[in-house]
Structure 1
Amino acid sequence: MSIASPDLDEQVDLRTSTSGPWQTVVWNDPVNLMSYVVHVFREYFGYSREKAHRLMLAVHHDGHAVVAEGSREQMELHAQAMHDYGLWATVREAGS
Structure 2
Amino acid sequence: MSFSAAATVVRPDSSPQQDTSPAHQEPFVVLVWNDPVNLMSYVSYIFRSYFGFSKEKAHTLMMQVHTEGKAVVAAGNQDKVEADVAAMHNYGLWATYEPSGLGA
TM-score (norm 2): 0.72
The alignment status of 1:82 with 2:63, answered yes or no, reads no
Give the number of aligned pairs: 78
Please list every run of 5 or more consecutive structure 1 residues that lacks an aligned counterpart in the other structure. Answer: 1-18
Residue equivalent to 1:94: 100
RMSD: 1.5
Q: 2:34 aligns with which of 23, 28, 37?
A: 28
Aligned residue number for residue 44 of structure 2: 38
User: d(CA) in 1 for partners of 2:56 and 2:82?
Assistant: 25
> Is residue 2:62 matched to residue 1:56?
yes
Tell me, yes or no, if the aligned pair for 2:29 and 2:73 is still in contact at 8 Å. yes
- Stretches of 4+ moved more than 6 A in 1? none
- 2: distance between equivalents of 1:30 and 1:47? 23
Which blocks of at least 5 consecutive residues in structure 2 are unaligned? Answer: 1-24
Take 2:82 and 2:66, find their aligned partners in 1: how far apart are those partners? 22
Identity rate, percent: 56
Question: Structure 1 residue 72: deviation in Å?
Answer: 1.0
TM (normalized to structure 1)?
0.78
Per-residue deviation, residues 38-82 of structure 1 (Å, max 9, x unmatched): 000000001000000000000000000000011011001000000
Hey, what's the Cα distance between the residues in 2 that align with 1:95 and 1:39? Answer: 29
